[in-house]
Structure 1
Amino acid sequence: MDNEFTQTAVEGPKQFLKEGISFINRCTKPDRKEFMQITQAVSMGFFVMGVIGFVVKLIHIPINNILVGGA
């Protein structure tokens, strides 16, 4: 019974390690074109989120001053 428990306890991590190694072996590095596309998409996302944050802050500063009364 103890041997069976040990065997089933080791089975899960063993399978996980096997699948992880298989996944890593299937992965490939992006080529230069794909890397540049990903970089441009991430940069555009940062820019858009920054603009949205700036506009929201720009709108809420005067509204907050009106509500608080310039305190």
Structure 2
Amino acid sequence: MSTSSTHHACHHPVRDVAIVALSATVSCLVAAVIVMTLDGGPLAVISGSGATFVASFTIGMTVLGHFRHV
């Protein structure tokens, strides 16, 4: 193995965004189940799960952005 070879990191931005989106979707579904368990109405379920999705996706993309700069 040559000592002068360079290692190139392979970046998969679509894969990373898909992972963040799927994680946000799972947290959204968990939030919906929790609100339904607490006898929340349909509007409460939709708004609670939607807010959870937006928050989880935003946090995930922020963390992903910080990992990109490291």
TM-score normalised by the chain length of structure 1: 0.44
TM-score (norm 2): 0.44
Higher helix share: 1
